[in-house]
Amino acid sequence: MLNVTLEKTATAPNRTIIVGAGMAGLAASIALSSKGEDVTLLETRDYPGGKMREISSKAGGIDSGPTVFTMKYIFDELFEMAGARVEDHVTLEKADVLARHAWDKSGHFDLFADRQRSVESIETFFDAENAQGYQNFCKDAGAIFNTLRETMIGAQRPSPLELSKRIGFINIRALLGLKPLNTLWGALGQYFPDQRLQQLFGRYATYVGSSPYLAPATLMLIAHVEQEGVWFIKGGMHKLAKAMQDLAELQGVKYRDNSCVKNIMVQNGKVGGVILEEGEILTANKVIYCGDVSALTPEFLSNKTIGNYQVPRNKRSLSALTWSMTAKTNGMDLHRHNVLFSDDYKLEFDSIFKQGNIPKKPTLYICAQDRNDQFEKTCEGEEERLLCLVNSPAFGDERNLSLDELQSCSDDMMKIADQCGLEIKPSQQTITQASQFEKLFPGSGGALYGRASHGWTASFARAGAETKISGLYLAGGSVHPGPGVPMATMSGMLAAEKILA
Ligand SMILES: Cc1cc2nc3c(=O)[nH]c(=O)nc-3n(C[C@H](O)[C@H](O)[C@H](O)COP(=O)(O)OP(=O)(O)OC[C@H]3O[C@@H](n4cnc5c(N)ncnc54)[C@H](O)[C@@H]3O)c2cc1C
């Protein structure tokens, strides 16, 4: 370890160094610079966005991280801080169809942003009882979101007691309505007699890297968030990261790519700056760390710790196995977002969280980036860009799948597509597995969402923005309020709020 500390007499200059230009780091830099703070944003890669990355192909960049853009109001708020509008920086289109779902060759089911259209579509594809269940589900999911929007999602990390206070002890109805002690899967059975709908809405637990069989029913709120709006970003998700970098720089943020932070300097319980991989020292009296919280080892922190926030192996969230490809497709008409389900959902999550294996029969998510809301291909030629994704255990620091193992996973993935009447013929592909995600996001083991949201206490086990080291703040998907593009963005805004306070 480079054991460099500040000289006893030296005082770190009044500036903020942000480590990592993912959504959280970019958001924090915009929020702080809009209030006149002196900000340097350091990123180890040569592109901004972190997980919001694209992989190049002969057909152009393929979105190979997040693809579903929700909770636009958080970005409206962020851009407004800088006197800007999101719409002036990226071209957005609100989707009518949230996603297309299939279980077999017998047809597909579309979920719509318009609730009434979904009710009708459920009544046609399933039956009236499930349609009624959906209406009840929407009401309850909306209520959970409304209870938590200002008290948890958009606020500094509370303790369980603090959250109850914010909601109001006397508001017993709202507290019980959060269903913290039910599992998501258990709760869904009370709304939907048809298992396929339990699967469809249970999958929202995977948006935070968790199993619907272990996550609290509170996560029903994610369904509500999606119904409030999913937007397509013209040119791909990565355009948003680039737009945020541009906005930050416009406001005076000093952005440095290819700058890997090796240590955060701490002396006398106070932050003093950072040391880069090449040995360069940058001093500052505030540092916001936006990488995975599990990388904050004592070695990284000048032999100090921030407490018990590193995620143990058995508490990690999901990783993924992804194929970023250009391909011809036949059969099932694709939407931008498509979910092809396995026929034994329990087995899939047991395989991941109990046996530690990639499921033989995985649920397959396909983002068909060149498809619009009318299921049309907007690219030229027969080939289109696809991101195919299956869930994987976060074993990236222990296992690197061999070519044979990857081939077998590819075969299993294609079998699910075939079972749903979709033929995929790739001409070029890049596979990313947990070990590569671990390299891209050190400390994570390939877990893409920090700590799994299993059990009602998991959300409270995430670190908040402030740490016990004076001047060191945290942001990102592995800390409060949690993972996902909007949440990570919110965490950056919350860290900035703490500093400005
Ligand atoms: C395949 C995939 C699909 C997903 N799908 C969705 C989706 O559809 N919708 C959604 O909302 N979310 C989705 N997510 C989750 C979402 O992308 C993340 O929760 C969010 O982008 C995390 O942002 P972040 O700022 O916390 O961290 P990251 O994106 O991980 O950014 C951290 C940054 O810090 C940098 N860094 C780390 N350590 C250092 C260091 N020591 N020095 C300098 N730089 C450092 C990294 O290089 C990186 O750029 C998906 C994620 C993946 C991977």
What string of H, E and C letters represents the secondary structure of 134-191?
HHHHHHHHHHHHHHHHHHHHCCCCCCHHHHHHHHCCCCHHHHHHCCCCCEHHHHHHHH
- The reply to whether 322 and 424 lie within a common domain is yes
Any ligand 1 atom below 6 A from CB of 41: no
Which CATH number does the domain housing residue 29 bear?
3.50.50.60
Predicted confidence (pLDDT) at residue 406 exceeds the cutoff of 90: yes
d(CA 177, CA 136): 13
In a domain, 418, yes or no: yes
What is the distance, to the nearest Å, from the Cα of residue 204 to the centroid of all Cα atoms in its chain? 12
pLDDT tens for 76-112 read 999 999 999 999 999 999 999 999 999 999 999 999 9
The whole-number pLDDT of residue 283 equals: 97
User: Omega of the bond prior to 359 within 30 degrees of 0, cis?
Assistant: no
The whole-number pLDDT of residue 122 equals: 98
- The reply to whether 387 and 353 lie within a common domain is yes
pLDDT tens for 361-373 read 999 999 999 999 9
Domain stops at, among 173, 200, 227: 227
Q: Cβ-count burial of 123 within 10 angstroms (0-12 exposed, 13-18 middle, 19+ buried)? A: middle
195-202 helix and 345-353 helix, angle to the nearest 10 degrees: 40
Predicted confidence (pLDDT) at residue 2 exceeds the cutoff of 50: no
- The reply to whether 132 and 245 lie within a common domain is no
The CA–CA distances, whole Å, from 84 to 76, 80, 87 equal 8, 5, 9
- The reply to whether 85 and 72 lie within a common domain is yes
In a domain, 100, yes or no: no
Q: Which two tokens stand for residue 120?
A: 């009708």
Domain that holds residue 461: 16-55+65-92+235-311+451-500
Q: How many Cα atoms are found within 13 Å in the side-chain-facing hemisphere of 164?
A: 8
- The reply to whether 304 and 324 lie within a common domain is no
The whole-number pLDDT of residue 10 equals: 63
In a domain, 9, yes or no: no
Residue owning the nearest CA to atom 50 of ligand 1: 66
Question: What is the reported pTM?
Answer: 0.96
pLDDT tens for 275-318 read 999 999 999 999 999 999 999 999 999 999 999 899 999 999 99
What percent of the chain stands above pLDDT 70? 98
- The reply to whether 267 and 192 lie within a common domain is no
Higher pLDDT among residues 9 and 38, named by residue: 38
Averaged pLDDT for residues 478-491: 97
Domain stops at, among 202, 227, 252: 227
In a domain, 2, yes or no: no
In a domain, 214, yes or no: yes
CB contact set of 359 (below 8 Å; sequence gap of 6+): 342, 347, 348, 351, 352, 390, 391, 412
If you measure from the C-alpha of residue 235 to the centroid of ligand 1, how many angstroms do you get, rounded to a whole number? Answer: 19
Residue to probe by mutation, ligand 1, list 51, 52, 222, 444, most atoms within 8 Å of CB: 51
- The reply to whether 121 and 213 lie within a common domain is yes
Predicted confidence (pLDDT) at residue 5 exceeds the cutoff of 50: no
The whole-number pLDDT of residue 7 equals: 46
Residue owning the nearest CA to atom 41 of ligand 1: 261
Q: What is the mean pLDDT of the chain?
A: 95
Any ligand 1 atom below 6 A from CB of 27: no
Residue owning the nearest CA to atom 31 of ligand 1: 22
Residue keyed to tokens 């958001």: 27
d(CA 98, CA 138): 15
Domain stops at, among 227, 252, 278: 227
**Least confident residue range of 98-107, 157-166, 422-431, 492-501:** 157-166
- The reply to whether 194 and 249 lie within a common domain is no
> Positive or negative, the Cα torsion across 81, 82, 83, 88?
negative
- The reply to whether 324 and 428 lie within a common domain is yes
In a domain, 342, yes or no: yes
pLDDT tens for 132-186 read 999 999 999 999 999 999 999 999 999 999 999 998 876 777 877 888 889 999 9
pLDDT tens for 317-368 read 999 999 999 999 999 999 999 999 998 999 999 999 999 999 999 999 999 9
Predicted confidence (pLDDT) at residue 430 exceeds the cutoff of 80: yes
In the chain, the number of structural domains is 3
Predicted confidence (pLDDT) at residue 9 exceeds the cutoff of 70: no
d(CA 53, CA 469): 31
The whole-number pLDDT of residue 195 equals: 96
CB atoms within 10 A of CB 100: 22
Averaged pLDDT for residues 109-133: 98
In a domain, 390, yes or no: yes
Any ligand 1 atom below 6 A from CB of 23: yes
If you measure from the C-alpha of residue 80 to the centroid of ligand 1, how many angstroms do you get, rounded to a whole number? Answer: 23
Q: Which of 406, 431, 414, 235 is nearest to 330 (CA)?
A: 414
Residue to probe by mutation, ligand 1, list 41, 64, 290, most atoms within 8 Å of CB: 290
- The reply to whether 318 and 435 lie within a common domain is yes
- The reply to whether 272 and 339 lie within a common domain is no
The whole-number pLDDT of residue 358 equals: 97
The whole-number pLDDT of residue 1 equals: 42
d(CA 14, CA 271): 11
Averaged pLDDT for residues 32-41: 98
- The reply to whether 126 and 49 lie within a common domain is no
Any ligand 1 atom below 6 A from CB of 448: yes
What percent of the chain stands above pLDDT 90? 92
Which amino acid, one-letter code, is at 355?
Q
pLDDT tens for 433-481 read 999 999 999 999 999 999 999 999 999 999 999 999 999 999 999 999 9
